[in-house]
Amino acid sequence: MITTTGMARAAGLLPRWLAALSYLVAAFLLVSTTFHPAILLVFPARVALMSVALLVHRPRGVT
């Protein structure tokens, strides 16, 4: 998650707020020690949010 976010941010594909949110989610999943069923939904929610953002957000320099 951290590498994907870093590469997408460097390429200008992600907005800054989504990159920050992705880093926070990655840190949360890295340090979470519980196996609560709700935690299993965090990663798919992040993937869905990134997919929508990539479909809606137009990268800089593309006309």
Domain that holds residue 52: 2-56
Whether 38 has a pLDDT exceeding 80, the answer reads yes
Looking at the 3D structure of the chain, how many domains does it have?
1
Whether residue 61 lies inside any domain: the answer is: no
State the pTM of this model: 0.79
Whether 22 has a pLDDT exceeding 80, the answer reads yes
Whether residue 63 lies inside any domain: the answer is: no
User: 41 vs 11, 46, 51, 56, CA distance in Å?
Assistant: 27, 9, 15, 23
Whether residue 15 lies inside any domain: the answer is: yes
Whether residue 24 lies inside any domain: the answer is: yes
Whether residue 26 lies inside any domain: the answer is: yes
User: 10 vs 7, 31, 36, 49, 51, CA distance in Å?
Assistant: 5, 25, 33, 18, 17
Whether residue 62 lies inside any domain: the answer is: no
Whether 9 has a pLDDT exceeding 60, the answer reads yes
Whether residue 29 lies inside any domain: the answer is: yes
What integer is the mean pLDDT of 3-32?
A: 90
Whether residue 21 lies inside any domain: the answer is: yes
